[in-house]
């Protein structure tokens, strides 16, 4: 195993379990801050392993692999939420600081635990229930009205593990699997939302917190495709209540590092919380180029209990558009083209192979004309993946 090389001057090593693009995007800020990263990677060619010299390959579900990795780290944090509870417990028992802590992380790992806790805290949620049987599904549908939204409590992402159903029959397979695993299903009323918002903030172990402005997230086929920062025409009072709810959740759950609170904005100035992520999040990619302190730098500061940086936006608007894999594996020619077309564009690619629909990068633009920024970001993202050629 390669031992991470520590910078002279007493600077720590931050270990990240998981070698995806979120770990990769910590590398730039870590270098700037004089910190050393070490990544427990899924494979030698994982997104982060391509840019972090200390990227031992290991299995995040294997206690021995994770403990061996953590020995060389001063703090351990995560690229994803899939590290099992027993591995997390062993990690904490080994004495290395772990942020976010497993006590907080379980509410991001399990959507049923999250719903229960948020409801206890009085944070607005869609009406929900745990269902284990077809009868319970039918009863919930009859109560809140069909269709309802069914979710597997664990392991879903990008809309996988979410289904909109109009009868219990459509959930026969899911119910069988949930019964076998003993997990149950989360059922929610289908919320007639106006749009999706996200509150992103960071909180440190000593309790300092800093929130970025509330953003609007636009999803296509269950995948986030665009983020508008800040959310246009957001009622300032709603914005303040949303941020207050985010800070309250972070404090009550003891979240450390970056927390994303995904929300639905309803008609009439209300919101409900959809879900929580305790790590840098797609809704915060805009901040790398659009705020004094980007989310990856802030996450590193927070998990090390360093003073947090300012989350203030640099320009009135920042638009982020995700680059999803298309039909063309060769990105270099199209990437050259968008750079030439728009010198104001910031391009971030993750070193990942192209697969249709896979998040392989994003672009951001900042400025004061929102419609122009949306056009430029959307065009560049589409051009890089090869769906437009003009």
**Is 306 an interacting residue with respect to ligand ADP (CB under 6 A)?**
no
**Is 157 an interacting residue with respect to ligand ADP (CB under 6 A)?**
yes
Cα(228)–Cα(219) distance, integer angstroms? 12
Name the minimum Å distance from CB 320 to ligand ADP.
Answer: 16
**Is 265 an interacting residue with respect to ligand ADP (CB under 6 A)?**
no
Nearer to ligand ADP, 3 or 220 (CB): 220
How does 245-275 read in b/e, with b if 16+ C-beta sit within 10 Å?
bbbebbeebebbbbbbbbbbbbeeeebbbbb
Cα(183)–Cα(71) distance, integer angstroms? 33
Residue from 50, 57, 90, 149 binding ligand ADP (CB under 6 A): 149
181-210 footprint of ligand ADP as x/- string (CB under 6 A): -------x-xx----x--------------
**Is 144 an interacting residue with respect to ligand ADP (CB under 6 A)?**
no
Q: Where are the beta strands (DSSP E) in the chain?
A: 13-17, 36-40, 75-78, 128-131, 148-151, 162-165, 185-189, 195-203, 209-211, 215-220, 223-229, 257-265, 271-277, 317-324, 346-349, 359-367
Cα(83)–Cα(8) distance, integer angstroms? 31
Cα(198)–Cα(213) distance, integer angstroms? 9
Q: Which of residues 332-371 bind ligand ADP (CB under 6 A)?
A: none
Nearer to ligand ADP, 45 or 158 (CB): 158
Q: What is the arrangement of strands in the sheet containing 36-40, beginning at the earlier edge strand?
A: 36-40, 13-17, 75-78
Nearer to ligand ADP, 261 or 338 (CB): 261
Output Rg (C-alpha) for the chain, integer angstroms.
Answer: 21
Residue from 53, 155, 159, 307 binding ligand ADP (CB under 6 A): 159
Tell me if the bond preceding 297 is cis, omega within 30° of 0.
Answer: no
**Is 216 an interacting residue with respect to ligand ADP (CB under 6 A)?**
no
Cα(366)–Cα(369) distance, integer angstroms? 9
Beta partners for residue 271, in sequence order: 265
**Is 328 an interacting residue with respect to ligand ADP (CB under 6 A)?**
no
Beta partners for residue 221, in sequence order: none
Residue from 19, 58, 153, 161 binding ligand ADP (CB under 6 A): 161
100-139 footprint of ligand ADP as x/- string (CB under 6 A): --------------------------x-------------
Stretch that binds ligand ADP, among 43-51, 52-60, 88-96, 156-164 (CB under 6 A): 156-164
Number of H helices, E strands in the chain: 12, 16
Residue from 84, 156, 316, 367 binding ligand ADP (CB under 6 A): 156
Nearer to ligand ADP, 164 or 388 (CB): 164
| CB burial of residue 132 (10 Å; 0-12, 13-18, 19+) | middle
**Is 141 an interacting residue with respect to ligand ADP (CB under 6 A)?**
no
Stretch that binds ligand ADP, among 16-24, 134-142, 159-167, 376-384 (CB under 6 A): 159-167
Backbone angles phi, psi at 289, to 5 degrees: -110, -15
User: How many of the chain's residues bind ligand ADP (CB under 6 A)?
Assistant: 19
Nearer to ligand ADP, 11 or 193 (CB): 193
Cα(291)–Cα(279) distance, integer angstroms? 18
56-75 footprint of ligand ADP as x/- string (CB under 6 A): --------------------
| CB burial of residue 224 (10 Å; 0-12, 13-18, 19+) | buried
Nearer to ligand ADP, 196 or 289 (CB): 196
Nearer to ligand ADP, 158 or 315 (CB): 158
Residues that bind ligand ADP (CB under 6 A): 126, 149, 151, 156-162, 188, 190-191, 196, 219, 222, 262, 274-275
């Amino acid at each position: 195993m390669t031992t991470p090389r520590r910078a002279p001057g007493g600077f720590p090593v931050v270990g990240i379990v998981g070698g995806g693009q979120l770990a990769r995007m910590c590398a730039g800020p870590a270098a700037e801050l004089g910190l050393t990263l070490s990544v427990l990677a899924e494979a030698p060619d994982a997104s982060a392993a391509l840019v972090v010299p200390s990227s031992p390959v290991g299995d995040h579900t294997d206690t021995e692999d994770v403990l061996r990795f953590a020995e060389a780290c001063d703090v351990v944090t995560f690229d994803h939420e899939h590290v099992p509870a027993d591995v997390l417990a062993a990690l904490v028992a080994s004495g290395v600081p772990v942020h976010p802590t497993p006590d907080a992380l379980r509410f991001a790992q399990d959507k049923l635990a999250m719903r229960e806790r948020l409801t206890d805290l009085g944070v607005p949620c869609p009406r929900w229930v745990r269902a284990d049987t077809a009868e319970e599904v039918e009863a919930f549908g009859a109560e809140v009205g069909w269709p309802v939204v069914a979710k597997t409590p664990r392991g879903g992402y990008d809309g996988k593990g979410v289904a909109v159903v109009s009868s219990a029959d459509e959930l026969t397979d899911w119910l069988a699997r949930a019964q076998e695993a003993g997990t149950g299903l989360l059922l929610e009323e289908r919320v007639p939302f106006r749009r999706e918002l996200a509150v992103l903030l960071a909180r440190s172990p000593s309790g300092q917190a800093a929130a970025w402005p509330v953003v609007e997230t636009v999803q296509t086929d269950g995948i986030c495709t665009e983020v508008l920062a800040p959310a246009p025409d957001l009622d300032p009072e709603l914005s303040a209540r949303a941020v207050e709810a985010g800070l309250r959740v972070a404090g009550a759950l003891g979240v450390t590092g970056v927390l994303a609170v995904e929300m639905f904005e309803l008609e009439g100035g209300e919101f409900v919380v959809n879900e929580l992520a305790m790590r840098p999040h797609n809704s915060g990619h805009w901040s790398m180029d659009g705020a004094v302190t980007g989310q990856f730098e802030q996450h590193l500061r927070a998990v090390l209990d360093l003073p947090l940086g300012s989350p203030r936006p640099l320009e009135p608007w920042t638009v982020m558009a995700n680059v999803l894999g298309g039909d063309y594996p060769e990105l270099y020619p199209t990437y050259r083209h968008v750079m030439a077309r728009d010198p104001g564009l910031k391009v971030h690619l993750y070193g990942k192979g192209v697969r249709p629909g896979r998040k392989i990068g994003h672009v951001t633009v900042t400025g004061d004309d929102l419609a122009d920024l949306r056009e430029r970001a959307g065009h560049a993202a589409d051009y890089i993946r090869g769906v437009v050629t003009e």
